[in-house]
Each structure stands twice: as C-alpha cells, then as structure tokens.
Amino acid sequence: MEQVKWDSLCIEINDYLEADETLDAALRQVVELHLQVGQENPSEQEAAQNALKALLKGRDGTPFRRGQKSSVPASVRVAIDRICGVVHEANLAYYNHDGIMSSLSFKHTKSGGGLYESADEFASAQTKKMRNKLSGMVRDGSWDGNINSLLSTEETTEE
C-alpha cells in the first residue's frame, strides 16, 4: 500500500474516532491497535486496512462507504448518518401508519413517477433527499454539522 494512501486512511479513521462518541472503548482500542500495526510495519498495512474495514463498515460516519469519498468531515458524516437514521425510521412509520399513505406517496417524475412499491423504498428515497440536503447545507455554510444547532429553540423577535 502506498504510504500516502495509508496516511490518508489514518487521518480519516482518527477523525472518525474523535467524532463518534458512541463507539465502545474495546472496539476503539482494537481500531487503534490496527492503526498502530500499520504504522509500525508497512508490510501489514493492507491487512490492517482490511481488518479496519471489517470492524467499521456500516457504522454511522464510517470512512468505509460505497461510492465517492464524502467531502464533509467525519464529525459531520456521523451527525448526518444519525439524522438520516431518524428520518428513515420516521418515514417508515409515516408510510405504514395507514393504508392511505401508500396511495398518496408518489415518486418524483425524474425517478419514474408512480407509487412506491414498499415502505422501505419510500423511506430510502426520503432519506437520500435529506442526506443530500444536509450535505449541501454544510457545503454552503448554512449548517455547522452539529445536531444540536438544528435543535435550536431560539426565536428571533423584531422589536
């Protein structure tokens, strides 16, 4: 493995470890040990990367995702993934709340139009929209990537 690629991976994983406060101590320690093995023995970097991928794949904000690398920092990826988990769950509940909901929930015309085939398809579409919206808000500076800033209850009043 190229040293630059390894160094980049280490930075991403360390950012992720800082951002995800829910990661249990034992798993965090194992991840740090794999990073140490790769740092101290370059011939083990490929194996360490594979082990890290197996440990962290599928977690909120993980650096091991399908598709293009995210342009947002790990702390923001973790926040977006958590929010999207809530959005997905809420949309499943909405769609399944009453049979009429499936008859009123239409795909966007660019997505082929028509009704969704399942609650999961509906929830996934809504979650994707939210993920794109939140990423855009971070990029344009209208959101700092912190979940608490979305929960702000301050109201501005004109005097």
The whole-number pLDDT of residue 60 equals: 77
The whole-number pLDDT of residue 153 equals: 61
Cα Rg of the chain (Å, integer) = 20
* Orientation angle between helical segments 3-19 and 25-40, nearest 10 degrees: 160
Do the domain assignments include residue 153? no
> How does pLDDT run along the chain (159 residues), one tens digit per residue?
677 788 888 888 888 888 788 888 999 999 999 999 999 999 999 999 999 999 998 887 788 877 666 667 777 888 888 899 999 999 999 999 998 999 999 988 888 889 999 999 999 999 999 999 998 998 888 998 888 888 866 554 454
Do the domain assignments include residue 159? no
113: helix, strand or coil: coil
Same domain, 42 and 83: no
In the chain, how many domains are there? 2
The whole-number pLDDT of residue 70 equals: 65
Q: Distance between CA atoms of 81 and 51, rounded to whole angstroms? A: 22
Same domain, 94 and 52: no
Containing 83, the helix (H) or strand (E) segment is helix 74-97
For residue 32, what are the domain limits?
Answer: 3-56
Do the domain assignments include residue 15? yes
The whole-number pLDDT of residue 8 equals: 80
Question: Which CB contacts under 8 angstroms, 24+ apart, belong to 35-39?
Answer: 35/10, 38/6, 38/10, 39/10
Same domain, 144 and 106: yes
Same domain, 32 and 79: no
pTM: 0.62
Same domain, 11 and 48: yes
Same domain, 87 and 144: yes
Do the domain assignments include residue 85? yes
The whole-number pLDDT of residue 159 equals: 45
The whole-number pLDDT of residue 155 equals: 54
